[in-house]
């Protein structure tokens, strides 16, 4: 039986606040999808032991967006020093039934996960420490404190 994931969360509220300050920014691509990834991660915490508030830094990110579907990944550092790769698929704007998130431990300094062969890397390949994600994590941390 599919579990319905609530559409609106603290992750979306912080995203909305940031977007209200500077709407229609080009950096919304990773930002919106990171918020959605954290939302999925929190909603499926019975499957994953990782909680979004453990994340201190996004090291690298990639993404692919077609129609209403997002597919992407984030290499993140955690408070305890571990590095994790989080990959997500958001099936539409309301976290549809095909939405999923996976968490894979990584070695610090290890090789990045290989991007899918049909991923348009010339457009969206790996982005180094997107600054908008650092701002988002700081604001989210203030909200959770």
Residue 113 lies in a domain: no
pTM above 0.85, yes or no: no
pLDDT tens digit sequence for 2-28 = 444 445 577 878 877 887 777 655 567
Write out the residue range of the structural domain in which residue 30 sits.
Answer: 10-106+121-144
Q: Is 21 helix (H, G, I), strand (E, B) or coil?
A: helix
Is residue 10 within 8 A of residue 40, CB to CB? The reply is no
Residue 112 lies in a domain: no
Question: For residue 120, how far is the Cα from the chain centroid?
Answer: 18
Residue 69 lies in a domain: yes
Residue 75 lies in a domain: yes
**What are the Cα distances from residue 125, in Å, to 91, 96, 103, 139?**
21, 25, 19, 26
Q: What is the pLDDT of residue 123?
A: 61
Number of domains comprising the chain: 1
Residue 2 lies in a domain: no
Residue 100 lies in a domain: yes
Residue 31 lies in a domain: yes
Q: What is the pLDDT of residue 6?
A: 47
Q: What is the pLDDT of residue 76?
A: 94
Residue 136 lies in a domain: yes
Q: What is the pLDDT of residue 118?
A: 66
pLDDT tens digit sequence for 57-90 = 999 998 887 767 778 899 999 999 999 999 988 7
């Amino acid at each position: 039986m599919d579990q319905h994931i609530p559409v609106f969360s603290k992750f979306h509220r912080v995203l909305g606040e940031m977007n209200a300050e500077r709407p229609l920014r080009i950096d919304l691509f990773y930002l919106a999808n990171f918020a959605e990834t954290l939302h999925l991660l929190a909603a499926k915490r019975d499957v994953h032991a990782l909680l979004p508030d453990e994340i201190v830094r996004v090291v690298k990110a990639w993404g692919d967006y077609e129609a209403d579907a997002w597919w992407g990944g984030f290499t993140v550092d955690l408070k305890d020093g571990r590095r994790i790769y989080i990959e997500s698929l958001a099936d539409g704007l309301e976290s549809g039934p095909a939405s999923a998130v996976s968490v894979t431990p990584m070695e610090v300094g290890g090789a990045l996960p290989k991007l899918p062969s049909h991923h348009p890397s010339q457009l969206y390949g790996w982005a180094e420490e997107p600054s908008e994600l650092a701002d988002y994590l700081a604001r989210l941390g203030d909200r959770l404190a």
